[in-house]
Structure 1
Amino acid sequence: MQSYFQQLAAAVCTPIAGADRVTLYFSAESSDFIRFNHAQVRQATHVDQRYGTVSVVAGQKRASSSISLGGDLAADTADLLAERTALLAQLPLVPDDAYLLQPDAVVHTERSATGTLPTPAQLIAAVAEHAAGTDLVGFYAAGSVVRAFADSRGQRNWHSVESFHFDWCLYREKDQAVKCSYAGTDWHTPEFARRVQEARTRLALLALPPKTLAPGAYRVYFSPVAVAELLGTLAWGGFGLKDLKTGTSTLLLAHQGKAALSPLLTLTEATAEGIAPRFQSDGFTKPDAVALVRAGQMAASLTAPRSAVEYGMPTNGCGEGESPESLAMAAGPLPEAEVLQTLGTGVFISNLHYLNYSDRQACRMTGMTRFACFWVEDGKIVAPIPVMRFDDSFLRMFGPGLVALTDHAELVPADGTYGARQLQSITAPGAIVEGFALTL
């Protein structure tokens, strides 16, 4: 597919009269999707799709158009050239954009990560063997995802990753289930089998008599997936320069020195370690890493090109929404094997959902516990707990409330497939937090 894109770019991204620059942004995927119920296949399909966005720029004017592509080089080239001609005719009618910024330097990047993925038949066989006798309900997505950029100055950026993501639950009854996931670029059936067996063990614990907790403040352990849910909410307006400058950043109190994050907390936009591309649709490239919080101290903000112009700051190549795409929380010293012992007495939280802000200015988040969450006494799981709502501030939880972080951070890729598979990810360790507010 890289040769196909290069030939499209060579035809479309040429200097033309009436435009200072022509760009082409390309996205594609070739994915298998398999849905399971009762550990049996309920739906299986394969999707191939390609899209091209061509833009023409003159001065402070830009016109863009996106079309779907069929994979036939001659036909796709003709369609993109027709779009380019139409955009060029429309360009004089487009108003100037005061915040339009284009990259000055020509920076080439290339990443082609070939994975080891199971065939659909191999995946189905693994589920049939290792989840036999369970009500496994899940969704598997795998294949290659491509992003690419080219412009008429000769810049070329290519990003291709083969990966898989399998989300599943082992369902017991009513609202009781254990949620699991396995994701990466190299599939190993023994690792999948280990995770299924671990889920079977937790499923058995759900049969214990439940313990109902009164609303109050509890010592809790958040699994890496639960921490990733909290970080995903924090990404909605926590790290962007525009949010900071307009006073709407959810981390504003930390920036102002009115709230102190824990020195255990370090957050980084770790592009080099993630699966998202190192460039965005305008051709700006990203540094390997941007420190957002360093040992509890606020560091840099994510700065999109438009915000860079508006506020006179250099851009670090993030997208227009100024949200992280490869957010990583640094691990701590707590061995995973010592989590229950260190928790002592409290709540083991496997998953959270329905998260949102209850007070953006205070960085307060609300949501629900989900799936297999347990009451722990003296370092031992003794009972499952019913679903509960929480309402607490991230600034408190990961400030004075943060007790420890585990020594292993888990990559949690975005599981969205609406329109296309996504390349965002969050890497997070588990966390023990004191005083977590369960409200009902």
Structure 2
Amino acid sequence: MKPANVEEYFNEVAALLDRSVAAGEIYTCRLDAEVSDFVRLNRGKVRQPGTVAQCYLRLHLIAGGRHAEQCLTVAGDLVQDRAAIAAALTTLRTTIAALPDDPHLSFAIDIRPSRVVRSSSLPAGEEIVETMLDAADGLDLVGIYAGGPVYRGFANSFGQRNWHEVRSFNLQWSVYHHADKAVKTVYGGFDWALETFAAKMAGARERLALLARPSRSLKPGRYRAYLTPTAMEEIAGM
């Protein structure tokens, strides 16, 4: 599956379904796809790089008051996927023939197309990881990077087409002083800004220096404490 051709592929699938449904049949089709880079880091080195490319089609076939759905894992190439889509329609027709009418069946018939493509200045994952490792020189760093495009599409027999495409990234890392003393930092979004990343790494180094100070043992009692936003997020997510 090539990122530049996913929308074109989905439009081809919709056109194929338009030609394939029989009289009296209605279809809806949803696409969920992503092409994401994942890189795990440990002790300031790349340990596990990889790319995940996955694409799913969810077909919903309606005939009168009866309907059925099927989800397909597809290659993102109509030449390869055409037979699987045709087989799915055949299976759905067989399933529908054995089902009773659904009194709660409801679907939209108004056509409200939309297209949202959010372009972003996101460097290649290799470049981001290299920048991170350079900035973390001399640190015991553990982290993970994930980034790439995500796609969502919708089409139906009435001619509605909706498309949503966005590129984003998420970078999480911890730098360790020793044992269980570490500073965690998160940077994510749609647009990569070197200045923002550099500021976050500098902040991590400053906080790491605080952890290097001698520990103090506290006697039982009431104390005021400061929790960073990251710490509060961790607590709230438990």
TM category (shorter chain) comes to: 0.7 to 0.9
* 2:175/2:182 contact within 8 Å kept: yes
Deviations 1:355-390 (A, max 9, x none): 2xxxxxxxxxxxxxxxxxxxxxxxxxxxxxxxxxxx
Q: Which has the larger radius of gyration?
A: 2
Q: Which amino acid aligns with 1:153?
A: F
* CA–CA separation in structure 2 for the residues paired with 1:137 and 1:148: 36
* CA–CA separation in structure 1 for the residues paired with 2:10 and 2:151: 10
Where does residue 125 of structure 1 map in the other structure? Answer: 130
The CA deviation at 1:217 is: 9.4
What pairs with 1:162-311 in structure 2 (closer than 5 Å)?
162-208=167-213, 209-210=215-216, 212=218, 223=229, 225=230, 229=233
* 1:53/1:65 contact within 8 Å kept: yes
Kindly tell me: are residues 211 and 80 of structure 1, through their superposed partners in 2, closer, same or farther at Cα, counting changes over 3 Å? Answer: farther
| Aligned-residue CA RMSD (Å) | 2.4
* CA–CA separation in structure 2 for the residues paired with 1:55 and 1:124: 41
* 2:106 pairs with 1:101: yes
Kindly tell me: are residues 107 and 216 of structure 1, through their superposed partners in 2, closer, same or farther at Cα, counting changes over 3 Å? Answer: farther
* 2:22 pairs with 1:16: yes
* CA–CA separation in structure 2 for the residues paired with 1:188 and 1:73: 37
Q: Which amino acid aligns with 1:30?
A: V
Instruction: Give the TM-score, by structure 1 length.
Output: 0.49
Equivalent pairs, count: 231
* CA–CA separation in structure 2 for the residues paired with 1:194 and 1:47: 30
Deviations 1:266-295 (A, max 9, x none): xxxxxxxxxxxxxxxxxxxxxxxxxxxxxx
SS for the counterpart of 2:198 is: helix
* 1:13/1:150 contact within 8 Å kept: no
* 2:41 pairs with 1:158: no
Kindly tell me: are residues 189 and 88 of structure 1, through their superposed partners in 2, closer, same or farther at Cα, counting changes over 3 Å? Answer: same
Kindly tell me: are residues 210 and 99 of structure 1, through their superposed partners in 2, closer, same or farther at Cα, counting changes over 3 Å? Answer: farther
The CA deviation at 1:94 is: 2.8
Where does residue 248 of structure 1 map in the other structure? Answer: none
* 1:13/1:24 contact within 8 Å kept: no
* 2:109/2:158 contact within 8 Å kept: no
* CA–CA separation in structure 2 for the residues paired with 1:110 and 1:39: 41
Match of 2:235 among 352, 362, 377: 352
SS for the counterpart of 2:159 is: coil
Q: Which amino acid aligns with 1:121?
A: E
* 2:60 pairs with 1:58: no
Where does residue 252 of structure 1 map in the other structure? Answer: none
Q: Which amino acid aligns with 1:17?
A: A
* 1:36/1:138 contact within 8 Å kept: yes
Q: Which amino acid aligns with 2:77?
A: D
Unaligned runs of 5+ in 1: 230-350, 356-440
Where does residue 402 of structure 1 map in the other structure? Answer: none
Where does residue 278 of structure 1 map in the other structure? Answer: none
Deviations 1:381-414 (A, max 9, x none): xxxxxxxxxxxxxxxxxxxxxxxxxxxxxxxxxx
The CA deviation at 1:30 is: 1.3
Kindly tell me: are residues 26 and 214 of structure 1, through their superposed partners in 2, closer, same or farther at Cα, counting changes over 3 Å? Answer: farther
Deviations 1:10-37 (A, max 9, x none): 1114552352x20111111111111111
Give the % identical residues: 35
Match of 1:41 among 37, 41, 46: 46
Q: Which amino acid aligns with 1:44?
A: P
Where does residue 413 of structure 1 map in the other structure? Answer: none
The CA deviation at 1:191 is: 1.7
Deviations 1:120-163 (A, max 9, x none): 33123212211011111111011111010101111101011011
Kindly tell me: are residues 36 and 219 of structure 1, through their superposed partners in 2, closer, same or farther at Cα, counting changes over 3 Å? Answer: closer
* CA–CA separation in structure 1 for the residues paired with 2:209 and 2:41: 21
Unaligned runs of 5+ in 2: 1-5
What pairs with 1:363-402 in structure 2 (closer than 5 Å)?
none
* CA–CA separation in structure 2 for the residues paired with 1:177 and 1:50: 38
Where does residue 139 of structure 1 map in the other structure? Answer: 144
Kindly tell me: are residues 18 and 354 of structure 1, through their superposed partners in 2, closer, same or farther at Cα, counting changes over 3 Å? Answer: same
SS for the counterpart of 1:187 is: coil
Kindly tell me: are residues 206 and 46 of structure 1, through their superposed partners in 2, closer, same or farther at Cα, counting changes over 3 Å? Answer: same
Kindly tell me: are residues 37 and 60 of structure 1, through their superposed partners in 2, closer, same or farther at Cα, counting changes over 3 Å? Answer: same
The CA deviation at 1:72 is: 2.2
Where does residue 79 of structure 1 map in the other structure? Answer: 84
SS for the counterpart of 1:352 is: helix
Q: Which has the higher contact order (CA 8 A, sep 6+)?
A: 2
Instruction: Give the TM-score, by structure 2 length.
Output: 0.86
SS for the counterpart of 1:194 is: helix
* 2:120 pairs with 1:115: yes
